Amino acid sequence: MLQPLNATGVALLRDDAIVTAGDVPGTRELREIGAWLDKGPRQPVMATADLCRREPLFQSLTPVAAGVLAVPISQSPGEYLLWFRPERIRTLTWGGNPHEGVKVGDDPTHLSPRRSFAQWHEVVEGTSDPWTANDLTTARLMGDSVADVIQQFRAVRFLITQHQLEQVITRVRLSEQPLLIADAMGRILLTNQAFDRLLKAGHRPGTLADILALFVDKSEAQRQLMDLQEHLRPWRSETLLLVPEGGGRAFLVRADPVLSSPHQTLGFVIIFNDLSERKAADDARRRFQEGIIAQHKVLAIPLDSKDDLIFRDLLASIVGNAQLAALEISDNLDVTQVPAMLKSVQASVARTTGLLEHLLWYAGHGSRRGS
């Protein structure tokens, strides 16, 4: 960091960072100096050798910042290149006390000089060495150079951010889950294709309030949405959405505020998880379990013969293996495949049970014919 102009410290104030070198005030004090400069008229160069006299708030900064030279590096508030000089205590020698007035003699028409021509010394505190015209010119030129570098850096950062934003937008739009993004005022900034498929033709919501038309229970959705926007409370609930093909479909709503700080809201993200496939999988599991329970009831019937014992042992083995298969299906398959797979297992168990019954029937008839 450059330290020209015989300054003991220099600081670069930006909206997102502070860079310092040498003896400078602390971060909070630097921001306060920037805010104080913002209150004054905008000038290419601002300089003072008695900061604490200009603003008593900075009295404690005198040892390091009795004098300040400032150059704005942008039109944004609080962005400056600052140089600091410490207090320089000086002794001024006068031919007499400059604060003592002219003496009047006995005759008011006669004036006389100060009665003492002895030298008079005055100690000056709270000021730094004065900034020269050359200092001001050098500071302005350096400020222009720094401003150019910062603007170039911001332009490059803008291009990088724009590229990253385009990539993120593409990924969001291709997401399989319906999703929308709104700003802090509730204006919808982005929706993806999955969300657009929930909308009726020609319907395009502009604000979060407009999405209430999608809900079957609009009053509850309005309450949750108000809680999200006004009190920044996350929204989690199962709800029914009106879909273009007619009727309601079950969705899980997950909505969150996005904060850059505890007191600043950037916007809101709302995601809709389609529960219809999960509910279909749950129904398939329930039906499968009911079938398994029915098979267990068969096993609980009192034994009548040796053939019944063989049948029940085989059936118990089939039912046990079917339950293991169902657990494997439920744990490892996508929910969209669960209903079909469970139905297949259940059908296989039914076919095997029927086959056993026929075999036992033939076995029983064969034994009776043989006797």
How do residues 99-123 score in pLDDT, each as one tens digit? Answer: 555 555 555 554 455 444 455 545 5
The predicted structure's pLDDT at residue 303: 45
Task: Determine contact, residues 10/67, Cβ cutoff 8 Å.
Answer: no
Percentage of the chain beyond pLDDT 90 is 41
Most confident residue range from 15-24, 175-184, 269-278, 289-298:
175-184
pLDDT of residue 126: 78
Q: Which two tokens stand for residue 117?
A: 């021509």
Cα torsion angle, 334, 340, 194, 222, sign: negative
pLDDT at 71 over 90: yes
Residue 5 has pLDDT above 90, yes or no: no
Backbone angles phi, psi at 45, to 5 degrees: -140, 135
Please write the tens of the pLDDT for every residue from 230-243: 999 999 999 999 98
Looking at per-residue pLDDT, the higher value among 187 and 357 belongs to 187
Check residue 105 and give its pLDDT: 52
The rounded mean pLDDT for the chain is: 78
> Hey, which residues does 253 pair with through a beta bridge?
237, 272
- CATH topology classification for 1-89+133-173: Beta-Lactamase (3.30.450)
pLDDT confidence of residue 128: 87
Mean pLDDT of 177-206: 91
CATH number for region 175-274: 3.30.450.20
Task: Put the strands of the sheet holding 179-183 in their side by side order.
Answer: 188-191, 179-183, 264-274, 248-261, 235-242
Distances from the Cα of 231 to the Cα of 182, 224, 228, 342, angstroms = 16, 10, 6, 45
Buried b (16+ CB within 10 A) or exposed e, 215-249: beeeeebeebbeebbeeeeebeeebebbbeeeeeb
pTM over 0.95: no
Q: How confident is the model at residue 342 (pLDDT cuts 50, 70, 90)?
A: low
Please give the residue that has the higher pLDDT: either 213 or 296.
213
Q: 37 pLDDT exceeds 90?
A: yes
